[in-house]
Amino acid sequence: MNIDVKPANGMAPMITEPPDIRTVGIIGAGQMGNGIAHVCALAGLPVTIVDIKQDALSKALATMARNMERQVNRSIVSSDQRDEALALVNTSTDYGALSEADFVIEAATEKEDVKRLVFKALIPKLKSSCIVASNTSSISITRLGAATDRPEKFIGMHFMNPVPVMKLVEIIRGIATDEPTFQAVKNLAAKLGKISAVSEDFPAFIVNRILVPMINEAVYALYEGVGSVSAIDTSMKLGANHPMGPLELADFIGLDTCLSIMQVLYEGLSDSKYRPCPLLVKYVEAGWYGRKTGRGFYDYTQTPPRPTR
């Protein structure tokens, strides 16, 4: 797509093509990071995943191989496509491995101070033309971009979990994000087979602005004794046709992530309806984050998982 940009001197507009993204870097080898790497590699893009922990990188590669094998078994991809995709994925514990990347997306934990530290270490290693994105599900893109040397080339690209399955990507422009960057990231989302929803840069964007307060309300219903874990989840699955109950979904997302998003909403919008439920806070304080820790609103050390309350 050609974008007309009118120079300040009033002369005829220049034609600015969005940059072509041919190589991708990913910061963070967790659930979101390896999922993003998965879809990029299947789209034929060379990918480098960077994480401070080598064991996290090894686990990410194993997870991708396992998930692609499932896709082969379901005839979603061929065994040749799987092998070609896995061959495109490299890993490193050094940000310098991203020095030639056209696009780098940060998929670290949902804490602004952590993300700022990542960008501080990352940015000096990148070429000047590299577009930088955050997979944040709630934090201000404008504020994160302002902490870098390239706010005009900084954007939000929020994938849904699990990335290989979910079709949506939220694209969020910061106040300084330029048009070529926006168009380049929209093009990338399409190349990955995703459908884009463009959100304004307000706390939690679109999906989590609606979804996580619903989860928080479900936790309040549990906290106030309106219903048990099983009753609440069964009611929403059978009464509202949700594929997962809100407490089961919270465990899947991670209770720590749900709490972080509620805190961003509460602090960013100053509205008491976004106050995190005290019970959600207690579960996080206990280290009961959900599936990833083996315990949340359900105990995953048992089959089937048993409600913890």
- Among the options 34, 134, 135, 137, which is catalytic? 137
Same domain, 139 and 174: yes
Cis previous bond, 19, omega within 30: no
* 91 and 119 share one domain: yes
The radius of gyration of the chain from alpha carbons, rounded to an integer in Å, stands at 20
For residues 297 and 235, state if they share a domain: yes
Q: Single out the residue in 135, 167, 199 at which a domain terminates.
A: 199
Q: Are residues 173 and 248 in the same domain?
A: no
Is 204 a domain residue?
Answer: no
Same domain, 145 and 14: yes
Tens-digit pLDDT profile for residues 41-61 = 999 999 999 999 999 999 999
How many structural domains does the chain have? 2
Chosen domain end from 144, 166, 199? 199
Told to judge if 158 belongs to the known catalytic residues of this protein, a careful annotator would answer: yes
pTM score: 0.86
Domain span holding position 99: 3-199
Q: Is the pLDDT of residue 83 over 50?
A: yes
Mean pLDDT, to the nearest integer, of 69-98? 96
90 is catalytic: no
Q: pLDDT for 109-126, tens place per residue?
A: 888 999 999 999 999 999
On whether both 12 and 150 belong to a single domain, the answer is yes
Strand order in the sheet with 195-199: 89-92, 47-50, 24-27, 103-106, 131-134, 154-159, 168-173, 195-199
Task: Give me the CATH number covering residue 68.
Answer: 3.40.50.720
Same domain, 244 and 194: no
Q: Which one from 106, 110, 170, 248 is the annotated catalytic residue?
A: 170
**How many Å apart are CA 164 and CA 168, to the nearest integer?**
10
Domain contains 213? yes
Express each pLDDT in 229-269 by its tens digit: 999 999 999 999 999 999 999 999 999 999 999 999 999 99
Do residue 244 and residue 265 come from a single domain? yes
162 in Cβ contact with 154 (< 8 Å): no
170 is catalytic: yes
CA–CA gap between residue 244 and residue 233 (Å, rounded): 7
Same domain, 25 and 129: yes
Say yes or no: 40 and 185 in one domain. yes
What does DSSP say about strands 47-50 and 3-5: parallel, antiparallel, or unpaired? unpaired
Kindly state whether residues 114 and 223 are assigned to the same domain.
no
List 34, 134, 138, 208, catalytic entry = 208
Instruction: Look up 208 and say whether it is catalytic.
Output: yes
